[in-house]
Amino acid sequence: MLSFGVTVLPDPPYTRLVEVLQNAEKEGFEYGWTYDSHILWQESYALLAIAATQTQKIKLGHCVTNPGIRDPTITASWYATMQDISNGRMVMGIGRGDSSRRVVGLKPVKVDEFERRLRMIKDLMNGRKVDWNDKELELTWVRDELPDVPMHVAGYGPRALGVAGRVGDGVIIQLADPQIIQWIMATAREAAEAEGRDPDALQCIVCAPSHVSDNLAEAREQVRWFPAMVERYGADSDEIPTALTDFVKARKFYDYKDHSRVGAKHGEFVTDEICDRFCVLGNTQQVTEKLRELESIGVDQFDIYLMTEGADETLAAYGKDVIPQFSGVAA
């Protein structure tokens, strides 16, 4: 059954992030996420701690953090601490690090090192002993009665998706195109099976903007920035489907100052067709039809990237007209 999440930018004032997550909780969203890019926005690790104390049910985490800006033992300890504070409501999304690292002059973490760090973080934050820097480490204070913090891994290329399959509990996919989603999940599940893991247990989390409106032209203008993000994930690879990479060949630049901002100039090349494929747009009936399609191919969670105008109206429309259609009661 499809569940719902929302990703909120950690923009000032910080009280707005808390308010949106509280509203999402009231509207029936199960997950509340935020970005982790400490120069572009406020420090999300601090803000999620505040949100945890001012919400009751919604699960919280990063979509996504990375194991390269902070020492990975700190990331593990922070999530374990937050699992205590939130009484078991944390969920980790993690990738190699794009905006967070590039903005300070660093490249994403190399894939082999990415996997090594993720394996350590997953064990350490969940109370298991790890060997790290020739030391045996353990967070002895982790509460045994709480569930493990799940680790969902973001990736597009085959090597990163291999890490997701071998290590992750789920795959974070930053687009809502069914064809590409199926390729991504098949690639990750093949790696999971080769690792001796249950490929069907790998969760599929789809993240994309959604603008609820009868005016499709208006909705598309709200989301052109989003598909422009894709080129960073391997436009030159011959292993990645052309459906994912062909359209970005027209992109001439990317300005991180406008990362995830409506009206970003670097998104002007994105066509209406790409907006429709990569996002969830239209009136509530059209939105529901797209979500039904995603559900039918095995998507477990749809996470709204709430960086469009009318954020409160979007949450309200989902709470009133969309989420109830996917609940156990409605079924």
Q: Which two tokens stand for residue 65?
A: 């953090």
Give the burial class of 198: count Cβ atoms within 10 A of its Cβ; 0-12 exposed, 13-18 middle, 19 or more buried: exposed
57 CA to centre of own chain:
19
C-alpha distances (whole Å) from 93 to each of 112, 177, 234, 324, 329 are 18, 20, 20, 26, 29
Q: Which two tokens stand for residue 168?
A: 């992750």
Residue 213: its pLDDT value, please? 96
Residue 238: its pLDDT value, please? 63
pLDDT tens, 149-197?
999 999 999 999 999 999 999 999 999 999 999 999 999 999 999 999 9
Residue 241: its pLDDT value, please? 75
Residue 169: its pLDDT value, please? 98
Paired strand residues for 282: 212
Residues in the chain with pLDDT < 50?
Answer: 232-233, 235, 329-331
Residue 233: its pLDDT value, please? 47
DSSP string, 280-313: EEESHHHHHHHHHHHHHTT--EEEEE--SS-HHH
Which of left, alpha, beta for 198 (phi over 0: left; psi -120 to 50: alpha)? beta
CB 167 within 8 A of CB 116: no
Give the burial class of 175: count Cβ atoms within 10 A of its Cβ; 0-12 exposed, 13-18 middle, 19 or more buried: buried
pTM above 0.85, yes or no: yes
